[in-house]
Amino acid sequence: MSLTDRIAQGLEAGWDVTDGATLAEDQTHEADVVVIGTGAGGGTTAEILAKSGLSVILVEEGRLYYQKDFKMDELTAYANLYQEGMSRVTRDGAIAILQGRCVGGSTTVNWTSSFRTPDETLTYWSERFGLDNLTPDAMAPWFEGREQRHSMAPWHMDPNVNNDILRQGCEKLGYRWQIIPRNVKGCWNLGYCGVGCPTNAKQGALMTTVPGALDHQARLFHGLRADRLVMNQDRIDHLQAMAMNADGVTPSGVTVTLKARHFVVAASAIGSPGLLLRSDVPDPHGRVGKRSFLHPVNATVAQMPEKVDPYYGAPQSVYSDEFNFKQGVDGPAGFKLEVPPLHPAVSAGVIPGHGQTQVDAMAGLPWTQSVIALLRDGFHPDSPGGTVSLRDDGSPVLDYPISDYLWDGLRQAYLTMAEIQFAAGARKVRLVHLDSEWYRSWAEARVAIETIAMEPHRVRLFTAHQMGGCGMGTDPKGSVVNGFGEHHHVSNLSVHDASIFPTSIGANPQLSVYALAARNSTRLAGKLAG
Amino acid sequence: MNDLPHARSPESGDLDRRSFLKTGMGGALFLGAVSVTAGLSGCATTPAGPREAVDLGPSDGYQFRFLTRDDVQLFHALLPAIIGPALTEQPEDRRQVIGSTIERIDAGISQFGPANQRELRRLFDLLNFGFTRVTIARVWSSWPNVTSAEADAFLERWRTSGIGLFNNGYIALTKISNVAFYGYRDHWHLSGYPGPPQWAIEALPHIKNA
Ligand SMILES: Cc1cc2nc3c(=O)[nH]c(=O)nc-3n(C[C@H](O)[C@H](O)[C@H](O)COP(=O)(O)OP(=O)(O)OC[C@H]3O[C@@H](n4cnc5c(N)ncnc54)[C@H](O)[C@@H]3O)c2cc1C
């Protein structure tokens, strides 16, 4: 395999890339289309539009990090590559939010699991939100196209022990499990996806669509934060953006004005509703920022008799959908079961504790296995999601109250995960919960889980899947964009990212974002060319 | 950082813990009130400056960007309880490890951005300001005089409290400390983590030659 870096090469060859931190004076630029955000949605959009001959400017608030920066070190990666230096949380602090802030967005740090949008979800959308042309059949070619573009295929190597324990537990209990498709090419099976792929194997936006767009004369401004879309009558006239200092967090004071015929917002859930709210874009029914979803995640950890080394090997390769849609799409909260990679910093941050307890928990890391449950939110009236609003300083924040409906699902997930770990031979199992002890048997765990407090802050929750907030639908009273990501009220504005999902996906979302962005950009390219 | 509109509300001086607990209001408003009180009563709210200035052992010239002198003392008191027995007893090394962990806590927070920094400022002010340290944290001595056992008891109270705000404070304090400590290469061995595979480092020139 070649170690030649696609980004280094492109920069050498003269890509039009500007680091906002180097700008000394205010300036204005113009293109056919301005795309805000360079992640799953933005990258796809920029490549398709640029290839169709349109001039494109890409705006990214994070910085351009690539192979030379990816050194398998957690502390530097979390500080630089993640939103709010990995400290993003919901408004009350009860749910930790992992999200990318760098060129390639979350796809630069994601764990490469690649699922199509489940049929159940697409069908629900068509019935509930009038999205008739997003049926599984209609979407199939778009999924297929993106699977090829991002080299997605079921993982062909043996799962690492961490994943294999999920498989073993499911097998013993008669639960379904499957191998996860991943978007990698020549993967070394190292296990460092979450801190930026050091071998360029990960086929996220950074290695595929962003270079593809730049090869076709797209211009990239990184370290540039989209601040406001400015309207002139009923169209967006320009984007006002703020250059960031090299620290990536403070604006330098230099502003950049970007004019275009069309604007595509792809700053993701939280970022996109935030931008629309700041811009005061028409929103007659108050829909912007509503119905934000997270796949709230809870976790259990197990001590296994054998070494797990949960920091090595493809982070996710086995999953179970046994409980995802089992009780109907809008029955009790369903969940997808997966495992997380466990490196020391993230483990020390997620597993709550201090002093001797923490010393012991950390000393056991090589034997530690963890299962996570991703709850499907948004499909039931008692799961209305959260709300993005603006803080005093204009930054977006997500308020996400956890309903009893979700607490029930989370308790059920704790039970299932502990059962699976014991079935796979765990010596002891503990919930990632402030009150949890180590449980020595499934019987003991079950009793404890049935009565443990299900409360914010005590249950440690997190998410790497933010969705919604600019939901799509046919009825403008209940949605922000139509089924093509086109804004209901502003004709030269589209949204192409995870914020347009009207519910959560019920599977890791990247392929859903890629496919919808590809479909909607192809249509947009046709319109703008015409 | 203390100039949030609600921090100037008339309730600023009202630190009645009971009514606060009863209303179950979000932490932000309450801590905002503390923050302004602390500011008025003269707690330092400027970053501590160069590491030499805060007596953290041999310095590598690090400049504090967020933590104040008071915050540094706070973590100095808390880290022995948070890191616990993983902290060496050998005085020189111990000082060095505590110092460099506080340094990395500061470096981490400086990437959090203004909004979360404000939340942390409120939390730290609450803990540094004598009146709230006593009423809310129930820590009687000022931090430099707090023993590890007292620090541990405080953390334990906040961990097991039925009040979400205190649980949240517990998580904030322990999380940033644990990440800064266990995530650092010198401490990887404590979690049995051998680091990135040597064969991969050897094969990746951008890491090997770094
Ligand atoms: C640690 C982690 C692991 C994950 N693992 C998986 C996985 O295995 N499989 C999977 O399918 N999904 C995974 N995901 C989720 C997946 O990557 C996201 O769902 C997907 O990337 C979302 O696409 P997006 O285009 O909506 O946003 P993103 O890809 O996040 O891109 C949004 C971009 O917009 C930028 N931005 C935000 N605001 C502004 C602004 N004001 N101005 C300019 N730019 C701005 C951001 O910095 C970011 O780069 C993971 C995510 C994380 C964080």
What is the phi-psi region of residue A523: left when phi exceeds 0, alpha when psi lies from -120 to 50, beta otherwise?
alpha
Residue of chain B with shortest Cα separation from A84: B112
Joined tokens for residue B3 = 């100039």
Output the CA B30–ligand 1 centroid distance in Å: 33
SS3 percent helix, strand, coil of chain A, rounded to 5, is: 35, 25, 40
- Nearest one of A131, A186, A114 to A514, comparing CA atoms: A114
Backbone torsions φ then ψ of A250, nearest 5 degrees: -110, 135
- The total of other beta-carbon atoms located within 10 Å of residue A14's CB is 8
Residues 60-89 of A with CB under 8 A from B: 67-68, 70-75, 78-80, 84-85, 87-89
Pocket test of ligand 1: the residue of A59, A83, A510, A512 to mutate, having most ligand atoms within 8 Å of its CB, is A510
The rounded Å distance from CA A269 to ligand 1 centre is 8
Q: What is the pLDDT along chain A (530 residues), one digit of tens a residue?
A: 345 899 999 999 999 999 999 999 999 999 999 999 999 999 999 999 999 999 999 999 999 999 999 999 999 999 999 999 999 999 999 999 999 999 999 999 999 999 999 999 999 999 999 999 999 999 999 999 999 999 999 999 999 999 999 999 999 999 999 999 999 999 999 999 999 999 999 999 999 999 999 999 999 999 999 999 999 999 999 999 999 999 999 999 999 999 999 999 999 999 999 999 999 999 999 999 999 999 999 999 999 999 999 999 999 999 999 999 999 999 999 999 999 999 999 999 999 999 999 999 999 999 999 999 999 999 999 999 999 999 999 999 999 999 999 999 999 999 999 999 999 999 999 999 999 999 999 999 999 999 999 999 999 999 999 999 999 999 999 999 999 999 999 999 999 999 999 999 999 999 999 999 999 999 999 999 96
Question: Is residue B10's pLDDT more than 50?
Answer: no
Q: Which of A370, A390, A379, A394 is nearest to A462 (CA)?
A: A370
User: Three-state DSSP class for A113?
Assistant: strand
Percent of chain B with pLDDT over 70: 75
**DSSP label of A334:** P
Local confidence band at B41 (pLDDT 50, 70, 90 cut-offs): low
CA distances to A52, A246, B102, B113, B144 from B107, rounded to whole Å, are 44, 15, 9, 12, 22
Report residue A519 as tokens. 């479909």
d(CA A76, CA A67): 14
For the ranges A101-115, A439-453, B2-16, B155-169, which has the lowest average pLDDT? B2-16
E-state strands within A142-288: 152-154, 178-179, 181-183, 219-222, 224-232, 235-244, 251-265
User: How far is residue A387's CA from residue A391's CA, in Å, rounded to a whole number?
Assistant: 12
Decide if B192 touches A, using CB distance below 8 A.
Answer: yes
Choose the closest CB to B204 out of A85, A88, A198: A198
The pTM for the full model equals: 0.94
pLDDT at B33 over 70: no
CA distance A274 to A391: 10
pLDDT at B1 > cutoff 50: no
Distance (Å, rounded) from C-alpha A257 to C-alpha A239?
6
- Tell me: ipTM over 0.90: yes
What DSSP element (H or E) covers B134?
helix B130-135
Q: Whose CA is nearest to atom 37 of ligand 1?
A: A267
Helix (H) or strand (E) holding A461: strand A461-463
| Dihedral sign (CA A267, A272, A276, A278) | negative
Nearest chain A CA: its distance from B191 CA (Å): 4
CB contact under 8 A, B111 and A343: no
Residue tagged 């792809």 (tokens): A266
